[in-house]
Amino acid sequence: MTATMTKQALTEDEALALYTNPETCPADKLEPIPLAEEPAFIAWQRDIPKQYLDMKPEELDVRISHARAKLGERVIILGHHYQRDEVIKYADYTGDSFKLAQYAAAQEKAEFVLFCGVHFMAESADILTRPDVKVLLPNMAAGCSMADMADPDDVYEAWDIIAETLGEDVKVIPITYMNSAATLKAFVGEREGMVCTSSNAGKAFEYAFERGEKILFFPDQHLGRNTAWAAGIALDEIVLWNWLLPDGGLTPEQLKKARVICWQGHCSTHQRFSVEQIEKARKEHPGINIIVHPECRWEVVQAADQNGSTEKIAKAISGAPAGSAWAVGTEINLVNRLAKQNPDKTVFCLDPVICPCSTMYRIHPAYLAWVLEGLLQGEVVNEVVVEGDTRKWALVALERMLALP
C-alpha cells in the first residue's frame, strides 16, 4: 500500500485495514515527524471481541439499532463531521468539536455519551458533562496525531524557557486548540489562558491580547499562524517553536520580537492541501469557489477564497446558489457528505489523493455495536475519565471558550 493509492481504489475491507493501521495509513506516513510516546489512554483500550469484527454490516446495523432502542434516552451518540457515513448515521447530534462540546455541556438526561470522534473530544465531553455521566470512546486508538505532537512535558519545558528568556515583565497567555490533551487544557486554564476551536480562534486571540503581550499557541502551527495573520500580525512576528530543537530553535531576539509563538504541530490530513491543487481547480473549473480549513498551511489559506471551521464550510456550501461549484480543503468524509447533501452544486475535495482522518477512521460500527451491547449488559467499556485538578482547570479553560461572545 502506498501513499498514492486512492480510497476509491479500495474495497471497504481494504480501506478499513489500511486506515485503521497506524503503520500503513497514508496520512500518518506522509510526515514522519517523531511523535511523543504512545498516548497513555491507549493502555485503557479493551480488546474488542473478534466476533464483532467478523460481523457483516447488515448484522451490525440490526444489533446497533436494537441496542439503541433498548437503551432509549439513557444514551446519546455524538458524531464528528469527519466520521464515515456508516457511523454518522447513528449520531443523535453531529458537528465540529465546538458544537459537540456545546451539545455535551447542554444534555441533561443521558447517563452515557457515546462519542464518535477522537480522544481529546471525548475528554472535553467528560469535563463538560455532569460527574455522573459516563463518556465512552468506542475505540481508544482513535487519538489525534496533531494532539500527540504537543507532549505536556515539552510544553511545560517550553513555557519555562520562554518565561526565563522574556523576563517577568512580559506576560504570555497560553492558548490551546481543542485538539490537545486535557492536561494541556488544564495548563492553560491555570495560567489565564483558554481553549479555542477553529470557530472561535480569532476571539480567543482578542481575549489573550487584552491580558498579555504575547501568545503561546499549541499544538497546530497553521491555525496559530492563520489566526495571527487574520488579526493583523506580521509574519516576522509569528515564530515557530520547534520542540525537537534546543530552545525551540529560536534565538532570544526572535522570542522577544514575536507576538505569537506557534507550536510545531500540524494535522496530517489538512497539511496535504497545496496551492498547486487550488491553481489546478481554478484552471479546470473557471469561477469555482475554493474554501479550506484553517488547519491548512498559510499559503493555502491565502490562495483560497474563504477559510473556516467545518461548520462554516458546511454553511457556506449549503447557503450557496444552485449551480455553484466548490473545491473544498478539508477531510474527505465531510466533503463527500456535503456533495451528497447539495446535489444541485458541484462539490469536490481539492486533494486528488483522498485520505480521511486516519484516527477518526478507527471508529467502526463494530465498535459501536460492542460498546452499546456492553451497556445493555451493564458493562461499561472504554470510558474516558478526567479527574482532579486536571478536570478543574481544564473546565476553567473550556468555560472561558464557551463564554466567548
Which residues of this chain interact with ligand SF4, rule CB under 6 A?
Answer: 82, 118, 144-146, 179, 267-269, 331, 357, 359-360
CA distances from 252 to 63, 162, 168, 170 (A): 60, 9, 15, 13
* Minimal distance, residue 352 CB to ligand SF4, in Å: 18
Taking the C-alpha atoms of residue 178 and residue 113, their distance in angstroms, rounded to an integer, is 19
Q: Which is nearer to ligand SF4, 331 or 373 (CB)?
A: 331
* Minimal distance, residue 117 CB to ligand SF4, in Å: 8
* Minimal distance, residue 318 CB to ligand SF4, in Å: 21
* Minimal distance, residue 211 CB to ligand SF4, in Å: 27
| Spatial contact of 212 and 257, defined as CB atoms under 8 Å apart | no
* Minimal distance, residue 357 CB to ligand SF4, in Å: 3
Q: Which is nearer to ligand SF4, 118 or 371 (CB)?
A: 118
Taking the C-alpha atoms of residue 381 and residue 145, their distance in angstroms, rounded to an integer, is 23
Evaluate the CA torsion angle 163, 168, 171, 174 in order and state its sign: positive
* Minimal distance, residue 230 CB to ligand SF4, in Å: 19
Which of 185, 191, 181, 194 lies closest to 159, judged by CA? Answer: 191
* Minimal distance, residue 199 CB to ligand SF4, in Å: 14
| Spatial contact of 189 and 401, defined as CB atoms under 8 Å apart | no
Laid out side by side, the sheet with 260-263 consists of 194-196, 172-177, 214-218, 260-263, 238-241
Q: Which is nearer to ligand SF4, 48 or 144 (CB)?
A: 144
* Minimal distance, residue 144 CB to ligand SF4, in Å: 3
Q: 328 Cβ partners below 8 Å, 6+ apart?
A: 291, 292, 313, 317, 334, 335, 338, 347, 348, 349, 350
Q: How many CB atoms lie within 10 A of CB 152?
A: 15
Q: Which is nearer to ligand SF4, 52 or 82 (CB)?
A: 82
Q: Which is nearer to ligand SF4, 22 or 212 (CB)?
A: 22
* Minimal distance, residue 97 CB to ligand SF4, in Å: 8
* Minimal distance, residue 266 CB to ligand SF4, in Å: 8
Number of residues assigned to the chain? 405
CA distances from 169 to 5, 163, 355 (A): 53, 9, 46
3-class SS of residue 377: coil
* Minimal distance, residue 123 CB to ligand SF4, in Å: 13
Which of 389, 287, 401, 300 lies closest to 345, judged by CA? Answer: 287
Q: Which is nearer to ligand SF4, 121 or 204 (CB)?
A: 121
Question: What does the DSSP assignment read for 250-316?
Answer: --HHHHHH-SEEEES---TTGGG--HHHHHHHHHHSTT-EEEE-TTS-HHHHHHSSEE--HHHHHHH
Cell of 197: 476551536
Taking the C-alpha atoms of residue 157 and residue 244, their distance in angstroms, rounded to an integer, is 12
Q: 356 Cβ partners below 8 Å, 6+ apart?
A: 7, 19, 27, 82, 84, 269, 331, 332, 333
Q: How many CB atoms lie within 10 A of CB 180?
A: 30
